[in-house]
Amino acid sequence: MSKNIMKTSPALASVLALLALSLPGCKKHEEAHVPEPHKIVATTPIAKDITITQAYVCQIHSQRHIELRALESGYLEAIPVKEGQAVKKGELLFQVLPTVYQARYDAAVAEAQVAKLELSYSEGLAVKKIVAPTAVALLQAKVAKAQAEVETAKAELDFMSVEAPFDGIIDRLYEQQGSLVDEGARLTTLSDNSIMWVYFNVPEARYLEYKKTLEQHEADLQIVLRLADGSHFDHMGKINAIEADFNNETGNIAFRADFPNPDRLLRHGQTGTVLINRVLKDAIVIPQRAAFEILDKRYVYVVDKENVAHQRQIETDKELDDIYVIKEGLAASDTIVLEGTRQVRDGDKVECEHQAPEVVLANLKYHAE
């Protein structure tokens, strides 16, 4: 009897198992395992004015920066200027002892006066027909020659004085009083710092962007100079020149921005950073953490009216610190998944906790997924 029960127990067990599956309680157990909607944080893109900044390391130059050299050899007399002094156009900077050239000039002046007296005397005799006209003509030529020699001697004498060709600032003095200088010896440099020329190198792609679009909207550009200590120069600049050739080694081309320098804060040889700021009107922006990449393409999850998430490809125009500027793929009316993108799949039904885009953007630097 016990052996028969043992033989039939597996069959009874199978029947009991089938009966158990058909019971109402088991169906409720299965329904309890139906996945619930994903709880995610959602927001919407926002249209706002965005400032795009491009930064370039720069070199600062005076608009005029020249070397002053001795035009003639000789001994330097007292130097009336000091290093770092501001001077005016025509102000005497250096004087070379002019003894020889002064004597040469005085002799030339005397010769010219003698020639003029001879000519005057001969002209009087020519009126009385005592002297031939040809003799008068020869004396006139002699006077002209003597006058030319005076002008030559005067120019040589002027070479002994070095004057400021424009308003500027004196640099280091390379020679001191009493020094014997040769012709062409460097005495100092003079810088006109009223306007500063700031040079910076721009990649080819940025150059093309500037020529195609930005040049026509130059009034919308803000050219800012950031100094070595991190502060911003008080005056705005303007792009006034682009060099003719690209550097074949770097692929860059040099731009020049001009900055007024009324307070003479900037000096020749300084360095800094040029910031080109441009405002994008009503740009569509989203937080960077709302997007994800697949094979070098960017996507977001867009939630429709039925709370179903759909994967959508987007194209970005600019990438800032915490946001993307959208070029194509999204509108300001779309709802996108902000947090929880890794738990969502295309076609999933989601439960949204909506955050206003203004609040999201205001707290971007304090959150990370």
Helix, strand, or coil (residue 151): helix
22 within a domain of the structure (yes/no): no
Cβ neighbors of 112 (< 8 A, separation 6 or more) are 143, 146, 147, 149, 150
Task: State whether 252 and 241 are in the same domain.
Answer: yes
What six digits make up the tokens of 325?
Answer: 């500027």
Task: State whether 271 and 203 are in the same domain.
Answer: yes
Whole-number Cα distances in Å, 324 to 43, 256, 334:
14, 30, 15
pLDDT at position 4 over 70: no
Task: State whether 268 and 296 are in the same domain.
Answer: no
Which phi and psi angles does 37 have, rounded to 5°? -60, 145
What six digits make up the tokens of 340?
Answer: 């929880």
Q: Which pLDDT tens digit goes with each residue over 41-56?
A: 889 999 888 888 899 9
At 209, the amino acid letter reads: E
2 within a domain of the structure (yes/no): no
The length of the chain in residues reads 369
The Cα 263–Cα 41 span in angstroms is: 53
Cβ neighbors of 86 (< 8 A, separation 6 or more) are 167, 168, 169, 170, 264
Task: State whether 337 and 290 are in the same domain.
Answer: yes
pLDDT at position 214 over 90: no
- Domain boundary, last residue among 280, 300, 334: 280
State the residue range of the domain holding 311: 38-50+283-366
308 within a domain of the structure (yes/no): yes
What six digits make up the tokens of 304?
Answer: 């429709």
pLDDT at 38: 64
Helix, strand, or coil (residue 143): helix
Task: State whether 77 and 134 are in the same domain.
Answer: no
Burial of 304 (0-12, 13-18, 19+ CB in 10 A): exposed
Q: pTM for this structure?
A: 0.68
211 within a domain of the structure (yes/no): yes
pLDDT at position 262 over 90: yes
pLDDT at position 27 over 60: no
User: H or E stretch including 310?
Assistant: strand 309-319
Contact 185, 75 (CB under 8 A): no
362 within a domain of the structure (yes/no): yes
116 within a domain of the structure (yes/no): yes
Per the structure, the count of domains in the chain is 4
The Cα 65–Cα 76 span in angstroms is: 23
Q: Which pLDDT tens digit goes with each residue over 140-175?
A: 888 898 888 888 877 777 778 899 999 999 999 999
232 within a domain of the structure (yes/no): yes
Q: Which pLDDT tens digit goes with each residue over 92-137?
A: 999 888 767 777 878 888 888 888 888 887 877 777 777 788 887 8
What six digits make up the tokens of 281?
Answer: 């009107």
